[in-house]
Structure 1
Amino acid sequence: MGGALPGTRFVHVVGTNGKGSVAAYLEQGFLAAGVRTGAFTSPHLVDPRERVRVDGVPVSPEALVRFVARARKLDLDDSPAFFEWMLAFALERFAAEGVAWAALEAGVGGASDATAFAAERVALTVLTNVGEDHLASFGSLEALAQDKAEAVRPGLPVVTAARGRALAILREVARNRGAPLFVYDPGNPLFALPVPPALGGAFQRVNAALAAAALRLLGFEEAAVRAALTRARLPGRFDRRVFRGRPVLLDGAHNPPAARALAAELPGRYRLVFGAQPHKAVDAMLELLAARANGVVLTWPLPAARGGHGYEPDPLAALARAAEAARAGEPVVVTGSLYLVGRLLGSGLLE
């Protein structure tokens, strides 16, 4: 678009799961420190402007309309993907708004991700974890781990909760690049949580600890760390709502590691509404999540029924069907895709 990189310092957040949560904590930490704050995250739930925030607020519709108008005039041989357009928009807005610090969430991978374009402005990298997702694109878990590890910047700190072979790969890359590596350890004061994390789910303790460590390593005061942990909000992740008087839990778990973490948090019995993109590990996730469900309704973005479960193509109708069948106090769990969660939140019918 003809512009230079903004003067913004970025925390680059890569990994399989937990990126949005870490970005949400970082965003609140920056705001509490009183600096001009930005965040680039994905996907959006209802409005594309959710992806680009300045001082905690989505950018204005007018700014996005002006950007799109300019973009349409460009003569490009290869049209960028939607994610790349939104990244360009974010970088432009951060420059225009004088953003000092921003959380920059990668999409897929690390070195191969479009966010690597801003590498020279990265101050610290958070690699949350590496798990089974996007393996069709990378071929193996090791290849995926290698690509994510390539996000490490020479001489700059890296914070991670990766384990096993992924951690070994990350250690090697960090050592070769002289990048200090800090591995999650709940007994290490660097990862201490002075207050309970605002986001629900036991798995959020790790995400919160990674963000807290990042803020401390960057020199932010403990007051900013506490504010980050207590003020973070992230719709669609372990998100408790009510629909027609029934308790509903929305969660965007869309791969087996996230499904395992969610399953560990669920009550003894529940109704399940599940919809995932067909290329995901649908059967593996369903096996984890349907085991204790009193009933399962499949829905969009799955195109059809499978595994003997009922199917309702319209997500709102699927939710209504599950809610009507639920016993008193029995929650309805909606999961499998953030796009599914966004479709339901966009209906305006969940309290």
Structure 2
Amino acid sequence: MTDTPVPPAPPDYGWLYARTRAGRERGPVGARALLSLLGHPERAFSSIRVIGTNGKGSTCAMLEAGLIAAGVRTGRFTSPHLHAYEERVRVQGVDLSPARTAAFTLWAQANAPDTAFFDLTLGLACQVFAQDSVEVAVMEAGVGGASDATQAMTAVAAVAITNVDLDHVGVLGHTVEAIARDKAGAAVAGVPLLTTATGSALDVIREVARRAGAPLFTPGTHPELFGVPRPPALAGAHQLGNAALAVATLRTLGHEGGIDAALGATHPARLERLTVGGKTVLIDGGHNPHATRALAAAVPHADVLLFGNLARKDTAATLAPLLRLAPARVYTSPGDLATPPGELADRFGGEAIPEPRAALARALALTPPGGTLLVAGSLYLAGTVRAELRPRSSES
């Protein structure tokens, strides 16, 4: 009689998600301690740090596609995920296997039980990249630059800052200039710092780069680097800036051969279009005022808006650019810490349906045949809607 193989135990996601940063020190200190415990896997590969208020995920997707096409063995670390935790850690465009998450979680429970969730995920990513002989890893910052756990990365090949606007003000500061100073704090002496930021944020980044001894590259100083030969596959005028930053970074690092692939990259829930029952559904994870202003510029009209936002965001300012787009609105709760939908309905007009799937069903019912439903306000909401609709979409 042959023994039946016992399937590996699934990862303890509940334990992982409970490792919130509440009560823990922000910044790279915890990540550095964890990486030391792991034997410093971050030293085994080069990294491109991607920082900014918005556009980080799209820029990372383009950089990943471009590096792979250029023949570079590539890792990617991003957050949050839409559907599965393993989306956060990729090698050569393939998500991490749950078995590796499970093995790392068991190790962490025994050896680093008090480490924050983001630091744990960063440590897992670095371990995987080292084990899988990654040459260059694209590393998306969580919050800020100097105050972010990714500041623990050592072999930094380039720092890319997408843009700077008001977000995470409780952590980074209450002005654009203060936020820009934190993000620019990722600058490393002798390491290219590239940015498409403008205005006062660029002034601050320029000052910080000079003091750090980091060569600064912008569309104004190096237009030949930032020129985009064709529009990117990702929709919206705001993606042109992300594409320019990705292309400039590839050129600066000598990977021009990957530019076409970078421009052809896709990224879910970034003005993603699905067709369901003859109706168009546009799904976007924009969750702060800067993002929804860009979204409003890209979507001139929708018949219905499905919106949910976390309460720690400036919800009123995030919603404001979208109100003129759609005459009908449904508000929902993308998570436990959401702005109460009833408050939004009372203040801005519309219906409040806290459960996201029920809210989606109502929003679709309100959308006329051939009409458009816009979903925005939260990546968590975008992930829920996307999981619900993609099996029913003619474009999935």
Alignment TM class, shorter chain as reference: over 0.9
Alpha-carbon deviation of 1:178? Answer: 1.9
Q: Is the 8 A contact 1:6 1:94 kept in 2?
A: no
Q: Which residue of 2 aligns with 1:9?
A: 46
Structure 1: distance between partners of 2:374 and 2:266: 19
1:85 aligns with 2:120: yes
Q: Which residue of 2 aligns with 1:254?
A: 287
Q: Is the 8 A contact 2:83 2:383 kept in 1?
A: yes
1:19 aligns with 2:53: no
Partner SS, residue 110 of structure 2: coil
Structure 2: distance between partners of 1:349 and 1:297: 22
Alpha-carbon deviation of 1:349? Answer: 4.4
**Match of residue 368, structure 2, among 327, 335, 343:** 327
- Compared with structure 1, are the counterparts of its residues 11 and 216 closer, same or farther at alpha carbon in structure 2 (3 Å cutoff)? same
Partner SS, residue 13 of structure 1: strand
Structure 2: distance between partners of 1:270 and 1:153: 47
Opposite residue 103 of structure 2, the aligned amino acid is R
1:95 aligns with 2:130: yes
Q: Which residue of 1 aligns with 2:189?
A: 154
Opposite residue 248 of structure 1, the aligned amino acid is V
Alpha-carbon deviation of 1:279? Answer: 1.4
Opposite residue 315 of structure 1, the aligned amino acid is P
**Match of residue 138, structure 1, among 155, 172, 175:** 172
Q: Is the 8 A contact 1:215 1:225 kept in 2?
A: yes
Instruction: Give the TM-score normalised by the residue count of structure 1.
Output: 0.95
Instruction: Give the TM-score normalised by the residue count of structure 2.
Output: 0.84
Partner SS, residue 294 of structure 2: helix
The count of corresponding residues between Structure 1 and Structure 2 is 346
Q: Which residue of 1 aligns with 2:107?
A: 70
Task: Please give the per-residue CA displacement for 1:245-279, whole angstroms capped at 9, x wherever unaligned.
Answer: 32100001111010000001113342100001011
Structure 2: distance between partners of 1:49 and 1:2: 20
Partner SS, residue 293 of structure 1: coil
Q: Which residue of 1 aligns with 2:20?
A: none
Structure 2: distance between partners of 1:350 and 1:290: 28
**Match of residue 324, structure 2, among 291, 303, 322:** 291
Opposite residue 252 of structure 1, the aligned amino acid is G
Percent identity for Structure 1 against Structure 2: 47
Q: Which residue of 1 aligns with 2:150?
A: 115
Q: Which segment drifts farther, 14-23 or 281-290? A: 281-290
Q: Is the 8 A contact 1:185 1:191 kept in 2?
A: no
Q: Which residue of 2 aligns with 1:190?
A: 225
Opposite residue 65 of structure 2, the aligned amino acid is Q
Structure 1: distance between partners of 2:212 and 2:354: 49
Structure 2: distance between partners of 1:90 and 1:2: 11
Q: Is the 8 A contact 1:243 1:350 kept in 2?
A: yes
Structure 2: distance between partners of 1:65 and 1:82: 14
1:176 aligns with 2:176: no
Q: Which residue of 2 aligns with 1:309?
A: 350
Q: Which residue of 2 aligns with 1:271?
A: 304
Q: Is the 8 A contact 2:59 2:242 kept in 1?
A: yes
**Match of residue 212, structure 1, among 205, 229, 247:** 247
Opposite residue 353 of structure 2, the aligned amino acid is E
The higher radius of gyration belongs to 2
1:282 aligns with 2:319: no
Structure 1: distance between partners of 2:278 and 2:116: 40
**RMSD of the TM alignment (CA)?**
1.6
Q: Which segment drifts farther, 85-94 or 135-144? A: 135-144
Task: Please give the per-residue CA displacement for 1:199-228, whole angstroms capped at 9, x wherever unaligned.
Answer: 11111011001000000000113x311121
Structure 2: distance between partners of 1:251 and 1:90: 26
Alpha-carbon deviation of 1:116? Answer: 0.6
1:60 aligns with 2:97: yes
Structure 1: distance between partners of 2:229 and 2:168: 35
Alpha-carbon deviation of 1:94? Answer: 0.3
1:28 aligns with 2:65: yes
Task: Please give the per-residue CA displacement for 1:147-196, whole angstroms capped at 9, x wherever unaligned.
Answer: 10100111111111111221111101111122111113599221111232
Task: Please give the per-residue CA displacement for 1:2-57, whole angstroms capped at 9, x wherever unaligned.
Answer: 32124211110001001001100110111001121100001100000000000000
Structure 2: distance between partners of 1:86 and 1:34: 26
1:336 aligns with 2:369: no
Which runs of no fewer than 5 residues in structure 2 stay unpaired? 1-36
Q: Is the 8 A contact 2:308 2:381 kept in 1?
A: yes
Task: Please give the per-residue CA displacement for 1:94-144, whole angstroms capped at 9, x wherever unaligned.
Answer: 0000000111000000011001111x2111100111111111223322221
Q: Is the 8 A contact 1:274 1:335 kept in 2?
A: yes
Structure 1: distance between partners of 2:59 and 2:301: 29
- Compared with structure 1, are the counterparts of its residues 265 and 75 closer, same or farther at alpha carbon in structure 2 (3 Å cutoff)? closer
Q: Does 1 or 2 have the higher relative contact order (CA < 8 Å, sep 6+)?
A: 1
Structure 2: distance between partners of 1:35 and 1:320: 44
